Amino acid sequence: MNCNQLIDDEQILEAYSIANIMAKFRINSYGKNPQCLDNTHKDALLYLLKDDEEILEHCCIHNEFLILNNQKIVKLNNITIKEELRKKKIMKNILHKNKEVYKQNGFELITLKAIRDGVITWKKLGFEFDNITDEKIILKQFKIYLRKVKGISDKKFVTIQEIPSRLFFDETISFTQWLSSKNNANFQHFSMTLRILDDR
């Protein structure tokens, strides 16, 4: 199998093409992009542009397309939208397009490591924590945040999805900033997976 049979270059770009957003491959001086790492592993670095301006906080989205344990998987790395462009449904629309293109190509899973706001955003977009205790850890920390930062002690939530968005924010510090600032490596990133083929 040639790794381009996993997904071709045009489809990688198509997976990020939504209204007003254009994807393009980063030009590398040190090697080909996208590239086949082996027959079952393709790697691609992409810029995302809106009105010719980069919309990502860091360059670039690092996509890995691979076969693991007989499953076709997409690994997303380093996908953080600039702060001023958040809450505009850009990631929601990109993810919808990702799922559409990847599903057509037989991919079963999208995986990523969620950091900062992504811990909440990705969960609300349908990703599940790989470690089933992670959501409980986050909810426990959220309860502490409500009490210490917002002075709220009478709220209890069983899932992240049921928390009203306004409670994640405060004039002094947002919940995800507060969580990231804690000197605990367990709160810095969380492995998450979206099952594409289960999606209806």
pLDDT per residue as tens digits for the range 106-155: 999 999 998 888 888 888 889 999 998 999 989 999 999 999 999 988 88
Phi and psi (nearest 5°) for 196? -65, -45
Residue whose structure tokens are 């990133």: 189
Q: Residue 40: which domain range?
A: 1-107
Q: Is residue 183 part of a domain?
A: no
DSSP per-residue string spanning the chain: --GGGT--HHHHHHTT-BTTBEEEEPPPSSS-SSEEEETTEEEEEEEEEETTEE-BSSS-EEEEEEEETTEEEEEEES--B-GGGTTSSHHHHHHHHHHHHHHHTT--EEEEEE-TTHHHHHHHTT-EESSTTHHHHHHHHHHHHHHHTS---S---SSSTTS-GGGG--SS--HHHHHHHSS-GGGT-EEEEEETTT--
Q: Is residue 172 part of a domain?
A: no
pLDDT of residue 185: 63
pLDDT of residue 179: 85
Confidence of residue 39 (pLDDT cuts 50, 70, 90): confident
Q: Is residue 66 part of a domain?
A: yes
Tokens of 79: 């996908």
Tokens of 42: 């393709």
Mean pLDDT computed over 171-176? 88
Provide the domain count of the chain. 1
Label residue 10 exposed, middle or buried (CB < 10 Å: 0-12, 13-18, 19+).
exposed
Mean pLDDT computed over 89-96? 87
- What gap in Å lies between CA 108 and CA 111, rounded to an integer? 10
Q: Is residue 19 part of a domain?
A: yes
The number of CA neighbours under 13 Å toward the Cβ of 192 is: 23
Q: Is residue 34 part of a domain?
A: yes
The number of CA neighbours under 13 Å toward the Cβ of 53 is: 7
Q: Is residue 59 part of a domain?
A: yes
- What gap in Å lies between CA 41 and CA 64, rounded to an integer? 7
| Number of neighbours of residue 52 by Cβ within 10 angstroms | 6
Q: Is residue 143 part of a domain?
A: no
The number of CA neighbours under 13 Å toward the Cβ of 20 is: 10
Whole-prediction pTM value? 0.86
